[in-house]
Amino acid sequence: MVFEHARKTGTCRRAFRVIGFKKPNSKTLEFLNQKYFESGWYNDLRLAKVALSLGAEINASDGIGATPLMWFSIHGNLDAVKFLVENGVFVNAVSNYGWTALMHACFRGSVEVAEHLILNHAKLESCLDGLTLMTLAYHSNNRNMIELLKLHGL
């Protein structure tokens, strides 16, 4: 309830006061990381900001190694991707299935997200079972994505 209020209002003051912790313990950290992960799944930047401000780990992942950055890339949420990158997220995290945030952006045709990730040192050599970034871009049928990748030497 407190967490939902903080997410909806964009303020963490009440959450801090009610929860009353300065540094999260392992159980609280697990909860915050879960909420942070859900922020990507539900494409909710405000939830991500609240979870991170309360102590969630910015590079937290779920059971399959997916990160909120990957989910925000899937949704094409440039603002969320920018926020996470500005706050030090590892842009080259790889899920247990071999996917990176850049691969998701290429596959979904999110040109702005892909460009931001590339400009922030996302690996262009990403490959999954023979599927290159260019293959994923062709699959998205997005000429702008293909041109972006060509521009960066692929």
* Cβ atoms of 113 and 105 closer than 8 Å: yes
Instruction: Examine the domain organization and report whether 75 and 52 are in the same domain.
Output: no
Q: Classify 86 in phi/psi space as left (phi over 0), alpha (psi -120 to 50) or beta.
A: alpha
Distance CA(84)–CA(45), nearest Å, equals 9
Instruction: Examine the domain organization and report whether 70 and 95 are in the same domain.
Output: yes
pTM of the model: 0.85
Instruction: Examine the domain organization and report whether 76 and 91 are in the same domain.
Output: yes
Boundary-marking domain end, from 10, 38, 57: 57
Instruction: Examine the domain organization and report whether 79 and 23 are in the same domain.
Output: no
- Per-residue confidence band for 119, with pLDDT thresholds at 50, 70 and 90: very high
Mean pLDDT over 66-77 rounds to 97
C-alpha distances out from residue 90 to 44, 51, 70, 113, 120, Å: 19, 17, 11, 15, 10
Beta bridge partners of 84: none
Higher pLDDT, 127 or 109: 109
Least confident of 13-27, 48-62, 88-102: 13-27
Residue 15 has pLDDT above 80, yes or no: no
> Long-range contacts for 132-136 (Cβ within 8 Å, ≥24 apart)?
133/102, 133/103, 133/106, 136/103, 136/106, 136/107
Instruction: Examine the domain organization and report whether 67 and 53 are in the same domain.
Output: no
Instruction: Examine the domain organization and report whether 43 and 90 are in the same domain.
Output: no
Residue 138 has pLDDT above 80, yes or no: yes
Instruction: Examine the domain organization and report whether 71 and 129 are in the same domain.
Output: yes
Note the pLDDT of residue 10. 54
> Which structural domain, as residue segments, surrounds residue 34?
1-57
Residue 11 has pLDDT above 80, yes or no: no
Percent of the chain beyond pLDDT 90?
A: 73
Least confident of 6-10, 41-45, 49-53, 77-81: 6-10
- Counted domains in the chain: 2
- Per-residue confidence band for 21, with pLDDT thresholds at 50, 70 and 90: low
Helices 78-86 & 111-119 angle (0-180, nearest 10): 10
Higher pLDDT, 9 or 83: 83
